[in-house]
Amino acid sequence: MEARLKSEIWVKALIRRCDLAAIPIALVARGDRDAGAILLKLNGGSTEGCSVLTQARGQDGELLWMRSTGPVPVAEAEADAYIARQRQRDQDIWVIEIEHREAESMLDGRVV
């Protein structure tokens, strides 16, 4: 089993990468510093909609991002409602919002 970064360190690194690329990013909710799950809200704007991605691991331990709100972008209100439901179930979840059409390019791991 490979060593994994603590959630807080991973989030800080993502924020730094986005800052360096001039991509707007916001930490919406802090989760558990060590092992909190991570939700990413990718906001493509009012015309393109939003996607929520959940961090997961594949069978061989590789980092994956699952499209929690389905294969196509949804309205921002729908994405926010999904995030609120997840936060009610688990308050240790990190929530990060990235406002950029090409936000997926900033992620480690593939999106499934």
Each residue of 18-58: pLDDT tens digit?
Answer: 999 999 999 999 999 998 999 999 998 767 899 999 988 88
> Does domain 7-111 bear CATH number 3.40.190.10?
no
Domain borders along the chain are: 7-111
Which one, of 80, 1, 69, 4, lies nearest residue 37 by Cα? 4
- Please state the pTM of the whole predicted model: 0.89
pLDDT tens digits, 64-99: 999 999 999 999 999 999 999 999 999 999 999 999
